[in-house]
Structure 1
Amino acid sequence: MSERSPDGLRPAFRRWRAGRPFWGGLLLALGGAEILVTEKASMKVVLHIGMQGLAGYLLPALMVVCGLLTLFSPGQRLFYSVTGVLLSLGSWVTSNLGGFFVGMTLGVVGSCLIFGWLPDQEPRRSRRQRRKEAAVGAP
């Protein structure tokens, strides 16, 4: 039986994470989850508009779905990011001011990170790495 060593998991996760807008998808999903949690809050400030607050649950649930789809299907990231920002802004009206602004802000920031992510780029190098490469290449 072949067991995977713990040393191999971290580099594999880093490679997987580098191939997709990880932080944007995570923030969008967390924003939707936060709004869903505040919907269930037992406070007098909670508003339910429409058919038993259906839109209040539907929009943040779709935010979570868009965030997860971004992580597992990054090829459609532009559609998910535009949909995510519209859902996040729509939650301001339907879901207690967008989860008291926290979930809405997480959703908008995550959607912007998704939109701005570009695949197949060379990773950034620090100044130290550039100096080291320049010193090795110098005669």
Structure 2
Amino acid sequence: MREHPRQGPRAAFRGWRAHRPFWGGLLLTLGGGEILLTEKASLKVVMHIGMQGLAGYLLPALMLILGLLILFNPGQRLFYSLTGILVSLGTWLTSNLGGFFVGLLLGAVGSCLAFGWLPDQEPRVSRRRRRKEARAARNPAQGAGEPA
């Protein structure tokens, strides 16, 4: 018999997600996608306007790419997240106020989450569990199941 139980796709995804700044990359990607979807000018008009019009599409596309890079290459997350926050703030000027502030906020929050993520950090213990462990340490007899 095998000593490791077979993992399903959900458990495999949770394991993959735990080793990267998942929510930061996802929010940055969603912010870039939202800004791209709110652009109303066609590519023909953008090329006629010039560089300012092209930046309206270039910066959100870069946000989308940076979010995906954070997800699939978390080793370089600091560079990607710093670039992502600068690009997100730049969309305020070039892309309908950053996708009417929604894409700008998603990109900024995602970049900050990715920047602050620490690899190989122990999961936080809930307050309830800490209190329970503290009570058990003070009263070893009560922690063993004896009534107080």
Looking at structure 1, the residues matched to 123 and 67 of structure 2 have their Cα atoms a distance apart, in angstroms, of: 23
Looking at structure 1, the residues matched to 89 and 50 of structure 2 have their Cα atoms a distance apart, in angstroms, of: 17
Which is higher, the Rg of structure 1 or of structure 2?
Answer: 2
Which amino acid counterpart does residue 90 of structure 1 have in structure 2?
G
Q: Deviations over 1:33-63 (max 9, x none)?
A: 0000001379xxxx96634711100000000
Q: Deviations over 1:76-129 (max 9, x none)?
A: 000000000000000011111100111011100110001111111000111333
Q: Once the 2 structures are TM-superposed, how far is the Cα of residue 73 of structure 1 from its aligned partner?
A: 0.3
Which amino acid counterpart does residue 56 of structure 1 have in structure 2?
G
SS at match of 2:8: helix
1:87 is aligned to 2:87: yes
Looking at structure 1, the residues matched to 96 and 82 of structure 2 have their Cα atoms a distance apart, in angstroms, of: 22
SS at match of 1:121: coil
Which amino acid counterpart does residue 55 of structure 1 have in structure 2?
A
Measured at CA, do residues 113 and 52 of structure 1 come closer, stay the same or move farther in structure 2, by a change above 3 Å?
closer
TM-score normalised to structure 2 length:
0.78
TM-score normalised to structure 1 length:
0.82
Map of 2:100 onto structure 1: 100
Looking at structure 1, the residues matched to 132 and 52 of structure 2 have their Cα atoms a distance apart, in angstroms, of: 62
Q: Once the 2 structures are TM-superposed, how far is the Cα of residue 14 of structure 1 from its aligned partner?
A: 1.1
Measured at CA, do residues 16 and 136 of structure 1 come closer, stay the same or move farther in structure 2, by a change above 3 Å?
farther
1:128 is aligned to 2:112: no
What stretches of structure 1 of length at least 5 have no aligned partner? Answer: none
Q: CA RMSD in A?
A: 2.3
Looking at structure 2, the residues matched to 52 and 82 of structure 1 have their Cα atoms a distance apart, in angstroms, of: 23
Matched residues, number: 130
Runs of 4 or more consecutive aligned structure 1 residues displaced over 2 Å after TM superposition:
47-52, 127-139
What stretches of structure 2 of length at least 5 have no aligned partner? Answer: 1-5, 141-148
Map of 1:67 onto structure 2: 67
Looking at structure 2, the residues matched to 52 and 135 of structure 1 have their Cα atoms a distance apart, in angstroms, of: 63
Looking at structure 2, the residues matched to 50 and 108 of structure 1 have their Cα atoms a distance apart, in angstroms, of: 27
Q: Percent identity, aligned pairs only? A: 77
State whether residues 25 and 71 of structure 2, in contact with CA within 8 Å, keep that contact through their aligned partners in structure 1. yes
